[in-house]
Structure 1
Amino acid sequence: MIRGWLWLLSLVALVMVTGCGSPSTGDSMDAQNTTPPGSSQRAASISATNNSSIMSNLSRLEGKATIVMTVNGSPITIEVDGEAAPITAGNFVDLVNRGVYDGVSFHRVVRDPQPFVVQGGDPQSKDETVPTSRLGTGGFIDPETSQQRYIPLEIKPRNADEPIYGKTFDQAKINVAPVLSHTRGAVAMARSALPDSASSQFYFALSDLPFLDGNYAVFGYVVDGMAVVDQIEQGDRIESAKIITGLENLKN
């Protein structure tokens, strides 16, 4: 029993985001450094849930969209749900539309002792000269501000009209399940210990991961191509990511 709990805690640590200082603080799964340097600076810089102007400037997806990622020559079809996670889904679709994910690698793959996650989305990984030790520390640099763009933690409880922002369910004292749960094939944002620290990195759930529900923001699901996800190895790249349907639902 103790060994099982230690395993669960180690997996939760793996979805924490790390950073290497401003501006390249990011959102990786790094069990060795789960508290990013400069976290107080990051919290002050976003404060998205307490600043309506920041929230209003973030992309939103008003509806659903379909994304096709090509990895190792094979497609992965993702349905992105802006009805339950408008800001998180909008951020992802906006980054796909910008070409941010084309050429990035999957820098962390965790399958042992049992299937956990495949994580990618660090823009630094496009540059093959970047040391692998740095991968997982980067996020999307908005060309309009020259700063890393962060989004708030956004999780919608079942039977709620709106998502909860900036807090985990434990922090918000929410005792119901989220609308979008961590079932196998879920796509969610990686982040640091700070709730509002997700940027561009995301992960695929390789199995049902209910202990992550209410803590990390799921924004969609793999609806076709999960066998491709199961074969991804560390270092494999996203050859392309394209919006197939739903671009009209993206509001910038």
Structure 2
Amino acid sequence: MSPQEAEEEREDVTPAGPRLYEPINYDMKEDPENVWLLDLSNGERVAIRLMPDWAPNHVERIKTLTRQGFYDGVIFHRVIDGFMAQSGDPTGTGQGGSSLPDLEAEFNVMPHVRGTVSMARANEENSANSQFFIVFYPRFSLDKRYTNFGRVIDNIAAVDAINRGEPPQNPTRILQASLASDNVPPPATGTAPRVEPDITADMLSAPVDQ
């Protein structure tokens, strides 16, 4: 068997999964069920392509919480210039989560490039719950350590404009989260009401490692 034939055979038996440079569909009209919309208090709407092929359970969790209104009114509580913006904690402290069980990790080969949306977790790998972060610049040290489940496909400038701080003095807030398939219009100007789900001690999410 030649080296080329051996390589072709190896490729044939490689388990199915996301390719390293799997293309992202930036057309917001395509597959709207997997387009996540975040209406921010800076007056902008950000569109994120959810990738169930990469992390099906994490994408399903995002959709479930979104349709429950969980993210409406939640702040970006940890925003580090040159690194990432973290949100998804209804307490705004970085120690909160939802009342749903923690998720098993779905680490994949997709790199943490600019605009990546990934799940925050505590030290335990299977501790992701509701918190997520958006990467400002490539941070490949996070690859295969945090579950990458999506990418910003529209209005990355609005992500860049999220107020910095740990926590910020005047935090940027998610006024409303929705899925494009649900055709929810942007909220009227003003602050969305806070949603206060039950928080338990075993449903915490720690900051993302730098």
Does the aligned pair in 1 maintain the 2:71–2:90 contact within 8 Å? Answer: yes
Structure 1 alignment gaps of length 5 or more: 1-62, 126-134, 143-148, 157-177, 248-252
Residue 212 (1) aligns with residue 146 (2) = no
Quote the offset at 1:246 in angstroms: 8.3
3-state DSSP class of the match of 1:77?
Answer: strand
Asked whether 1:136 is paired with 2:94, we answer: yes
Q: Does residue 1:65 correspond to 2:34, yes or no?
A: yes
What TM-score do the two structures reach when normalised by structure 2? 0.66
The AA in structure 2 aligned to 1:211 is S
TM superposition shift of 1:236:
1.2
Tell me how far apart the structure 1 counterparts of residues 106 and 182 of structure 2 sit (CA, whole Å).
Answer: 20
Mapped partners of 1:83, 1:94: distance in 2? 17
- TM alignment of 1:97-116, pairs within 5 A: 97-111=67-81, 115-116=82-83
Deviations 1:176-234 (A, max 9, x none): xx0x2201000000001100001110000000111110100010000001100000013
Q: Taking every aligned residue pair, what percent have the same amino acid on both sides? A: 34
Aligned with residue 223 of structure 1, among 153, 171, 175: 153
Matched, 1:151 2:121: no
Q: Is residue 86 from structure 1 mapped to residue 38 from structure 2 by the alignment?
A: no
Q: 1:95 aligns to what SS in structure 2?
A: helix
Between Structure 1 and Structure 2, the one with more helix by share is 1
RMSD: 1.9
Change (3 A) 1:69 1:151: same
Corresponding position of 1:186 = 116
Tell me how far apart the structure 2 counterparts of residues 88 and 120 of structure 1 sit (CA, whole Å): 15
Instruction: Give the Å deviation of 1:64.
Output: 6.0
Structure 1 Cα separation of the partners of residues 35 and 118 of structure 2: 15
Residue 245 of structure 1 deviates from its aligned partner by 2.8
Distance 2:67 2:53 in 1: 19
Aligned to 1:121: 88
Q: Report the AA paired with residue 38 of structure 2.
A: M
Q: Which is higher, the Rg of structure 1 or of structure 2?
A: 2
> Structure 1: how far apart are the matches of 2:83 and 2:132?
13
Cα offset, 1:93, TM superposition? 1.2
The structure 1 segments of at least 4 consecutive aligned residues displaced by more than 3 Å after TM superposition are none
Partners of 2:37 and 2:45 within 8 A in 1: yes
Give 1:17's aligned residue. none
Aligned equivalents of 1:237 and 1:64: distance in 2?
23
* Counterpart contact for 1:183–1:205, Cα < 8 Å: yes
Question: Are the counterparts in 1 of residues 33 and 179 from structure 2 also a CA contact under 8 Å?
Answer: no
Residues of 1 paired with 2:97 and 2:66: CA distance? Answer: 14
In 2, the alpha carbon distance for the partners of 1:246 and 1:186 equals 23
Contact 2:33–2:180 (8 Å) recurs in 1? no
- Tell me what 2:191 maps to: none
What one-letter code is carried by the residue in structure 2 that aligns with 1:75?
A: R
- TM-score for both structures, normalised by structure 1: 0.55
Give, as a single letter, the amino acid of the residue that structure 1 aligns with 2:60. Answer: G
Using the TM superposition, give the Cα deviation of residue 84 of structure 1 relative to its aligned residue in structure 2, in angstroms.
Answer: 1.5
After TM superposition, give the deviation of residue 155 of structure 1 in Å.
Answer: 1.8
Paired with 1:138 and 1:106, the residues of 2 have a C-alpha distance of 13
Which residue of structure 2 lines up, in the alignment, with residue 244 of structure 1?
180
Task: Name the amino acid aligned to 2:95.
Answer: T
